[in-house]
Amino acid sequence: MNRRRCAAAATSLACALAVLASPDLTLRAYAAPPPAPVGSPSPVAPPPVELPPGMSAPSPSGTKSGTKSLEDVREEIEELYQKAASATDAYNLADELVKKQSAEVVDLAGDLVGIQRRIDALKASAGAAARAQYRDAGLPPDARLILTGDPQLFLDGMGRIKQGQKATSDLLLELTRQQEDLKTYAADSSTHWQQLKAARAKKEKAKKEIKKRISAAKKLEASLAEKDRKRLAALDRAAAQRAQTAWLDSGAVPLSGSAGSAGSAGSVGGGASEQGGKAIEFAMAQIGKPYVWGGAGPYSYDCSGLTSQAWLAAGRPIPRTSQEQWRLLPRVDIKNMRPGDLIIYHSDASHVGMYVGDGQIVHAPRPGRNVTLAGAGSMVILGVVRPDR
């Protein structure tokens, strides 16, 4: 019995040694290695596996990642243009600040010049008084009066002395006040100048960001074959139509008829206020003009440039940017929306269009596109504001 056990053990040992000695086999350890001591360098990752031509590595979800689908490209281009729109809003806001602060700096500079002129005039008056006293041999007026023997002249002189003393006192007070004003205005001018520099820096930074995002989007689109670019445009239209249809089917807004798809006029402007009707009329007249970031007419527009100019033409100035329009204008529930109201889109309020009725907006979409009609529900709605509420 013991002999048989010994023989079996010897046979197993011999087989194991034979496997270890084989040159054609490589042992692979599947157990996790022991943790490295604290402070020791991280283990070097193994090199990536090279797959045969035509084979793609599986993604974590189990689907093959391979090359991007056209839908992935469409979503990436859309994201780039949305980021460019956000940067455009930052640019427009900085541009407004630059204009405002430039005017304030100019006004302050004018005030400083005016104050300095008044100070110079006051100093000249003080100098004239000092020279007059010098011409009178340096004697103060009251000493000269004591030397006169005429009582009437004495009384008249005392009155003039009091008037002169008051005038001198007022002169000194005014000079002191003007000098204090000069210091205050100089400090304000310096502060406004620093704010102007900061606004210009923000404007330049936003400008670079806009160009970067738009350039990346155009480059990505240009890398596609002509047939794929046509398919991409079709995917854009299909995605917008799906979103619009879902929005209309939700009953979010009542329609006056069957209109509601992008491109048909429907009952444009029906139910608008008097000012709203004028704003719609202006915006509709811009259809076909190109989108240009920072554009506020008359030949090109960005989204908020169109809406702000339309309401300005209606006699109601509103903020320049879509984010400020969302922040400052009165909000209304979407179910109470009427033509002329502004629909704000995306979570960062980076896009705006004007509702014209029957589920449609007029808007300036993005670079490479023109002012057009579109489905109001074709993008993600953040909310609605009413300029003339």
Q: Do 356 and 269 sit in the same domain of this protein?
A: yes
Whether 169 is in a domain gets the answer: yes
pLDDT at 124: 76
Q: Do 217 and 232 sit in the same domain of this protein?
A: no
State both tokens at 118. Answer: 């008044």
Which one of 222, 244, 271 terminates a domain?
A: 222
What's the domain count of the chain?
Answer: 2
Whole-model pTM: value is: 0.65
pLDDT at 166: 61
Whether 162 is in a domain gets the answer: yes
Q: Do 148 and 253 sit in the same domain of this protein?
A: no
The 342-345 sheet, strands edge to edge: 331-332, 381-385, 342-345, 351-357, 360-363, 372-375
Whether 322 is in a domain gets the answer: yes
pLDDT digits (tens, 9 = 90+) for 127-169: 666 666 555 555 555 555 555 555 555 455 555 555 555 666 6
C-alpha Rg value of the chain to the nearest Å: 40
| SS3 label, residue 361 | strand
CA angle 265, 270, 276 (to 5 degrees): 105
Contact of 203 with 294, CB cutoff 8 Å = no
| Annotated active-site residue in 6, 15, 346, 363 | 363
Whether 296 is in a domain gets the answer: yes
The set of residues, in sequence order, having a beta carbon less than 8 Å from that of 227 and lying 6+ positions away, is: none
User: What is the C-alpha to C-alpha distance for residues 201 and 211, in angstroms, rounded to an integer?
Assistant: 16
pLDDT at 5: 46
* 303 in active site: yes
Q: Do 183 and 287 sit in the same domain of this protein?
A: no
Whether 51 is in a domain gets the answer: no
Q: Which domain holds residue 91?
A: 87-222
Residue type, 339: P
Q: pLDDT (tens digit, 0 to 9) for every residue of the chain, 389 residues total?
A: 444 444 444 444 344 334 334 444 333 333 333 344 333 334 334 333 333 343 333 333 333 334 678 999 999 999 999 999 999 999 999 999 998 888 888 887 777 777 777 777 767 776 666 666 555 555 555 555 555 555 555 455 555 555 555 666 666 677 777 777 777 777 777 887 888 899 999 999 999 999 999 999 999 999 999 999 999 999 999 999 999 999 999 888 776 543 334 444 445 667 899 999 999 999 999 999 999 999 999 999 999 999 999 999 999 999 999 999 999 999 999 999 999 999 999 999 999 999 999 999 999 999 999 999 999 999 999 999 999 98
**φ and ψ of 325, to 5 deg:** -60, -40
* 6 in active site: no
Report CA 363 to chain centroid distance, whole Å.
18
pLDDT at 184: 77
State both tokens at 59. Answer: 């993604």
Contact of 319 with 384, CB cutoff 8 Å = no
* 346 in active site: no
Q: Do 126 and 213 sit in the same domain of this protein?
A: yes
| Annotated active-site residue in 6, 15, 192, 303 | 303
Which one of 203, 222, 241 terminates a domain?
A: 222
pLDDT at 355: 97
pLDDT digits (tens, 9 = 90+) for 181-219: 777 777 777 887 888 899 999 999 999 999 999 999 999
Q: Do 241 and 373 sit in the same domain of this protein?
A: yes
Whether 327 is in a domain gets the answer: yes
| Annotated active-site residue in 6, 15, 346, 351 | 351
Q: Do 140 and 170 sit in the same domain of this protein?
A: yes
Q: Do 152 and 236 sit in the same domain of this protein?
A: no
Whether 18 is in a domain gets the answer: no
Whether 39 is in a domain gets the answer: no
Which one of 190, 222, 254 terminates a domain?
A: 222
Q: Do 378 and 232 sit in the same domain of this protein?
A: yes
pLDDT at 103: 86
Report the mean per-residue pLDDT for the chain: 76
Contact of 354 with 306, CB cutoff 8 Å = yes
pLDDT at 50: 34
